[in-house]
Amino acid sequence: MSMRCILICLSTAAALTLSACATTAQMHDEAVLNQVALGCGLALGELIQDESEKRLLIAIRTNASVEQRVCVRKWARKNGLKPVFVDVKYPEG
């Protein structure tokens, strides 16, 4: 085999390997996210995904417990998402 053929084969193999890793995040519908939220001890609507940042799974919960955070993290990672926890503090009065 010529050196040129070897280089072409190696670069093709590298490109295929890298393209396999670059998967796009899936948008999950509200029903799925609510099912996960309830399974993790959160309320309906406390897990969201934004169309502009599909890879983020946003949990909006004041004082989420360790167990709730672990549950959300496990599901997010299993589905190729990055969990983000937002602790909302509402003003009194």
Question: Can you read off the two tokens belonging to residue 74?
Answer: 């496990």
Helix (H, G, I), strand (E, B) or coil at 33: helix
Rounded to a whole number of angstroms, the distance between the first and last alpha carbons of the chain is 78
Confidence of residue 25 (pLDDT cuts 50, 70, 90): confident
How far apart, in whole angstroms, are the C-alpha atoms of residue 68 and residue 70?
5
pLDDT over 90 percentage in the chain: 57
How many domains does the structure of the chain reveal?
1
Domain presence at residue 6: no
**Overall pTM > 0.85:** no
More confident residue, 20 or 38: 38
Give a yes or no: residue 63 inside a domain: yes
The answer to whether position 5 is within a domain reads no
Asked if residue 1 belongs to a domain, the reply is no
Task: Give the range of the structural domain holding residue 57, as residue numbers without chain letter.
Answer: 24-93
